[in-house]
Amino acid sequence: MSTRLKPKLIIFIIFFILKGFTFEMQAQIRLPEGWQEYLYSFDDSTHWHSLTIDTINNPFNIWQIGKPHKNSINSAFSGSRVIITDTVNSYPANTLSKFEFVHHAQEGFIEGVVAVFSGFYFVNADSLSDYGSIEFSPDNGNTWINLLTDTDYSDYYHWFTEKPVLTGNSFGWHFFGIQLAEMNKVFEIDTTTIIRYRISFISDDINKQKDGLAFDDLRFQDHLLGLNDENNVDSFEIYPNPGNDILNVRANSSLNEQMRYTLLNINGGLIETKTLPTNISSTINIKELKPGIYVIYILDRHNRPIKQQKIIKL
């Protein structure tokens, strides 16, 4: 006996297919084919489905998302919310708290081109016995690699900033970034591979009423396009370099969207971040900076870096 779908049912099915398609397209908006990139600003819950703070197996897990109200860590890097070891209270003694991100491998990991994890951290801990860790798993949690202490796989990843120091006091927000694409040389990574990131905070048995650890603007990039592709390297000129008083930032074409820059010291410490005017050129005052090496990032309106450059202050 043959069955036919009623017209109303067909319309109902098509509606949900299109609704699902629309949701998927919103998640991938403005991203070229072969590109996976997303940002956790913690003010936008778009990607929270891939974030886990396990309070079932660990009811004493102190990681929280919210506005920080602490002595040292009292504001986000951007927006108002962060992920932090308790938004209000100091971290307790003898804690082991973790959160994880899950990511399905895309072309950057598979082909070994661009697979970057980056973001900003702020730490206020009482001793070297209280510290954070950043771990990476290229095989859905079967293998965990501590990216701060590992020596077995260190030939296959590269910190393009100073390695983050997740203990002591950072005295502000610091930028970190690591390129992981060459992990495909030692692990079999394909379209079925699930990548995991795990961030932990551990404290000893002494409580000195410190703030703990916070992260903001965590970014995941997994794609075939490098920073220097699609003429990005030529999109802006930053000069003079070396410089003494003023940096000129000049776009080589008219800007059709709002840009901003982030200036860091060589250790990843944030100097300043400001919006660039929408005209062709602008200036950045570096007169008060100490002589040394700094890094400047030009970011688009989605907070994606489109140019980075080391600059030397004379």
Residue 251's pLDDT is what? 79
One pLDDT digit (tens) per residue for the chain, 314 residues: 444 544 444 433 333 333 333 222 222 223 334 446 778 889 988 878 899 999 999 999 999 999 999 999 999 998 999 999 999 999 999 999 999 999 999 988 998 888 989 999 999 999 889 999 999 999 999 999 999 999 999 999 989 888 999 999 999 999 899 989 999 999 999 999 999 999 999 999 999 999 999 999 999 988 775 444 333 446 778 999 999 999 988 877 666 667 788 888 876 678 888 887 766 778 889 999 999 888 888 877 666 667 778 889 99
Regarding whether 183 and 148 lie in a shared domain, the answer is yes
CA distances to 5, 51, 106 from 192, in Å? 34, 19, 9
Regarding whether 119 and 77 lie in a shared domain, the answer is yes
Strand partners, 134: 199
What CATH number should be reported for the domain holding residue 79?
2.60.120.200
Residue 267: closest CA among 238, 292, 232: 292
Regarding whether 200 and 55 lie in a shared domain, the answer is yes
Q: Is residue 240 part of a domain?
A: yes
Cis before 277 (ω within 30)? no
Regarding whether 195 and 152 lie in a shared domain, the answer is yes
Report the number of distinct structural domains present in the chain: 2
Distance CA 15, CA 57 (A): 39
Instruction: Please provide the DSSP assignment of 13-81 as one string.
Output: HHHHHHHHHHHHHHHTTTPPTTEEEEEE-SS--TTGGGEE---SS-TT--EEEE---SSS--S-SSSS-
Regarding whether 175 and 76 lie in a shared domain, the answer is yes
Range of the domain at 77: 35-223
Distance CA 232, CA 229 (A): 6
Residue 299's pLDDT is what? 78
Residue 15's pLDDT is what? 35
Q: Is residue 3 part of a domain?
A: no
Regarding whether 237 and 139 lie in a shared domain, the answer is no
Question: Which ranges constitute the DSSP H helices of the chain?
Answer: 7-27, 107-111
Regarding whether 86 and 169 lie in a shared domain, the answer is yes
Regarding whether 173 and 141 lie in a shared domain, the answer is yes
What CATH number should be reported for the domain holding residue 244?
2.60.40.10
